[in-house]
Structures are given as C-alpha cells and as structure tokens.
A = this chain, B = another copy of it.
C-alpha cells in the first residue's frame, strides 16, 4: 500500500486513451494539431490569453521559467525548503547559468511578503551582491500547504513593486485549486503570477507538464531554451494530448480533489500527530521509529521525512481501502 509519493502514480485511463488516439502521423516537434491546440485550451481555462509549452518534467518547467525571469547574474527568492532548492539536482543553476537561489523562511514552506523582504532588503544594491530578479513560490507547497489568492496577490504586489518576476511551481496546482475552490485565474495571473509550472504528471498524466506564460514575450525565447535543453520531443503530440485530456472535462481538478480527499481522511485519523495542517495531498505526521516500523510491517510504504516525522502522499489513484486501512492503523498506534 503505497503512500510514498504521487510521482509514481498510474496514468488516468482517459489520458492513456488520448495517447493512443494521438498515434497518427503528424508534424514533428510542436507543429502538430494537439500542440497547436494548447494555447487556446489553457487560455480558456485561465480566462486570459496565455502561451503554453509542454515539457516532460516539472523540473524542466520550473527551470525554464526561472531562466525566463532571471539573468545569470541575478537571484531568485525561494523558500529554503522549496523543490527548486532541494530536489532538482542543481537544475535551476544549470538553466539560469548560475543564478543564485536566495533562501527565505516561512511556515509550512510558504513565503510571505515579510520573509521575502527580510531577504531582499538586506541586499545592498551594488555590483558585489547578487541582486534579486524573481520570486518563486510553490502551490501547494512542499509541506502540503496552500496559498490562497490573497496570499499570492500580496507576494505579487511586492514582486511588482520591486520589479521582480513571479513564478509559481504548480506541481500540485490541481490540489491547491481543488482545495480552495477558486478559479485558476484568481490563483495566478490575477494575483501577479507571470509563469506557472502546471503539473499533470503527479495527477494522472504520463510525461507532460505545461509551462504557462501569462506575461507576454517570454514564450518565444523559452522555446529556444527548451530546444537547447534537449527537451523538444520529436513527437510532441503525445505530450500535448495528455495535457488536453487532463484539462478537458476538468479531469485535472477532479483528480486533485480525489487525492485531497484521501489526505483529509488520513489527517482526520492523525489528530495531534500532524506537523502541518493538511490542505492538499500530503500528510506529515510525527511518528517514532518504532511506530513507523509498525506501519511498515502492516504493508504501508512511505517516506521518512525527518527524525520522528513521516510523510504520507496520496494521489488520484490511491485506493480508498488502503486509505481506510492506514487511517485505522494510525489511530491504533
């Protein structure tokens, strides 16, 4: 019974159908009819004109966005527990040609205008110091917390005031929107976000994420960077088809809600053990090594996050029986 990660989840049947349906000869790269449909599809979803590039991984989406927003000699403010800092093997530095990640604090891996200011206001504006050029937040965060539109907008206002780019790592954007019940627009461009890594791989797709640009002028250069990074797949139609299948009929948000519901069920069982409020599809809870071992002996697989702390992750395809069993097991600890 796997609560290790949403990374390895299965493909949603509708996505697999779409992949099979795309198995027709068409133009290579992103000249095919599926790829060409992406801009319109996501423009409708976001209620504004956007430009969209498919990419095969979330790391690629994030780092292409950062490269679009920050020059090699600049810096990107992010949370010290963010994915771009800790889990991308140096990809942000690779794609930006050495920009510096500037680590800020915040509860539950959430930045606030205050924690951002604490970092950037300490930087003298001279050539000796790397200057901030962008802010990157993750929604839902690495600890399963969500920023609501007001919180995003507050950071967006700060970004605008200081002339900083604003990126959202939305590997779990679906979980955030499902939780908040807001529009995708409210959580992004209406709050100042300029580029979104819109994640699908954790949520039912096989190999496609969408890099969404709300700010004009960034997509064309990024297409060149995508090619230069070896990310321009010959048969882009198979990626585009996944994104289209996820967006059509709101599959993305339905799947996000499914995963959230499983996590909520676990949260209910965890009670005082919870390290963070559960707002998306991740549950961090306190458990001694003995308790963790006991859960494992019952067939549950999960990640040891830190000393005395374990992480449970649910996905769109998490089995409800497994969730019930795990909830019981936690209560029984």
Identify the A interface with B (CB < 8 A): 2, 5, 7-11, 16, 19-20, 23-29, 32, 55-64, 71-75, 86-91, 93-101, 103, 127-131, 201-202, 206-207, 221, 223-235, 238-239, 317
Contacts and interface: CB of A to CB of B under 8 A. Distances in A.
Contacts of A128: 86-89, 227
A232 B90 CA distance: 13
A291 to B, nearest CB: 22
A120 B10 CA distance: 34
A23 B28 contact: no
B317 A25 contact: yes
B72 A129 contact: no
A32 B227 CA distance: 28
Q: How many copies does the complex hold?
A: 4
Given A59-B232, A207-B239, 8 more contacts: A56-B230, A56-B231, A57-B234, A59-B227, A72-B97, A73-B224, A74-B90, A90-B228
Given A19-B19, A25-B317, A238-B206, A91 B230 contact: yes
Nearest to A64: B230
A89 B90 CA distance: 19
A202 B225 CA distance: 23
B89 A227 contact: yes
A250 B128 CA distance: 31
A235 B201 contact: yes
Contact of A93 (B59, B64, B99): B99
Contacts of A25: 2, 8-10, 317
B26 A8 contact: yes
A123 to B, nearest CB: 9
Contact of A94 (B59, B206, B228, B239): B228
